[in-house]
């Protein structure tokens, strides 16, 4: 990167973010994720929950961590993208690896400072997620099968999402807002099921285009559909465990189950094409939004 080019870096990064990290998707997801997990953690204890300044720090930290991981993925997938996605920014030169790494350093410093201002434990928890992402980059370089086999790749990459959930919940626990117990485990499982339902939905199809790394290519479309629906069912079970004793209103998030049921029916009935992704996205949004509303309404 030359000195002459340096003034153009923010604009190049901005264009990268708008294309590869669409704010309307990733920022909304990060916001709903934090609000739902934090609100549910507090409401499940019978305590009134209201978002505050600490909530804002968690939202900013999670969104920036997702951006960090997206920038890392862009670099990890470069060889694959040169063949199958030649229009990606890193392939075309719209952004460079050096610019992405520089932005990742800035993100690391920023999230560390934000969380260290609250507690050392918060800073370590968010750094654990970023550090695991970097470890994965090394792992995929040493063992290409991790990237080439979707199910194996998911098994080793999913912990990044889990670590971010642990960061949110752990931040609440270290602040004394909640006491870590079985409800925390059920809540982490709920968020895992919501994410994995969407993750399987976006990589399940009857046909596998060249270069596509689909779970259905390994499991078969029928079994992949069953797993996709199973994760949605798992989320509903976790919601019932957490809220069933609190009355009918507490089961509001369970209404989201109609979405994966509809998606499963459509996919199996069609016998071709991909899983109806908008339905899977709606399941994530409705579930997290319902959990957030419930946390505000419950006494």
**Span 22-77, pLDDT tens digits:** 999 999 999 999 999 999 999 888 888 999 999 999 999 999 999 999 999 899 87
Using CA atoms, how far apart are residues 103 and 91, in angstroms rounded to an integer? Answer: 18
CB contact burial 209-231 (16+ within 10 A = b; e otherwise) = eeeebbbbbebebeebbebbbbb
Residue 3 has pLDDT above 70, yes or no: no
Residues 6+ apart with CB under 8 A from 229: 197, 260, 261, 263, 264
By the 10 Å C-beta count (0-12 exposed, 13-18 middle, 19+ buried), 78 is classed as middle
Select from 174, 151, 156, 161 the least CA-distant residue to 128.
161
CATH class of 181-299: mainly alpha
Task: Kindly report the pTM of this predicted structure.
Answer: 0.92
Q: Distance between CA 164 and CA 59 in Å, rounded? A: 11
Q: CATH 1.20.120.1780 residue ranges in the chain? A: 181-299
pLDDT over threshold 50, residue 1: no
| Domain 1-180, architecture per CATH | Orthogonal Bundle (1.10)
pLDDT digits (tens, 9 = 90+) for 63-115: 999 999 999 989 987 887 788 888 888 889 889 999 999 999 999 999 999 99
Which residue ranges does the chain devote to CATH 1.10.357.140? 1-180
Angle at 85 between CA 89 and CA 97, to 5 degrees: 35
Q: What is the mean pLDDT of the chain?
A: 91
Structure tokens at 229: 């629906």
């Amino acid at each position: 990167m030359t000195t002459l080019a340096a003034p153009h870096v923010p604009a190049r990064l901005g264009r990268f973010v708008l294309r590869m990290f669409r704010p309307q998707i990733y920022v909304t997801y990060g916001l709903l994720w934090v609000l739902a997990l934090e609100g549910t953690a507090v409401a499940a204890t019978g305590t009134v929950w209201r978002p505050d300044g600490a909530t804002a720090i968690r939202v900013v930290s999670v969104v920036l961590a997702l951006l960090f991981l997206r920038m890392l993925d862009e670099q990890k997938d470069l060889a694959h993208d040169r063949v199958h996605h030649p229009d990606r920014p890193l392939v075309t030169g719209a952004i460079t690896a050096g610019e992405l790494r520089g932005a990742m350093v800035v993100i690391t410093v920023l999230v560390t400072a934000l969380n260290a201002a609250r507690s050392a434990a918060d800073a370590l928890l968010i750094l654990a997620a970023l550090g695991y992402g970097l470890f994965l980059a090394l792992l995929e370089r040493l063992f290409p099968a991790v990237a080439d086999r979707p199910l194996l790749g998911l098994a080793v990459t999913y912990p990044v999402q889990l670590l971010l959930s642990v960061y949110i919940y752990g931040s609440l626990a270290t602040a004394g807002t909640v006491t870590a117990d079985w409800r925390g485990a059920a809540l982490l499982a709920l968020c895992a099921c919501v994410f994995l339902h969407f993750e399987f939905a976006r990589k399940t199809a009857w046909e596998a285009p060249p270069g596509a790394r689909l779970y259905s290519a390994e499991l078969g479309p029928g079994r992949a559909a069953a797993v996709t629906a199973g994760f949605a069912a798992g989320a509903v079970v976790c919601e019932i465990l957490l809220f069933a004793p609190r009355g009918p209103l507490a089961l509001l998030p369970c209404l989201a189950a109609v979405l994966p049921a509809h998606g499963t029916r459509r996919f199996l009935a069609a016998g071709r094409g991909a899983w109806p992704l908008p339905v899977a996205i709606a399941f994530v949004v409705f579930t997290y939004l319902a959990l957030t509303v419930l946390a505000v309404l419950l006494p």
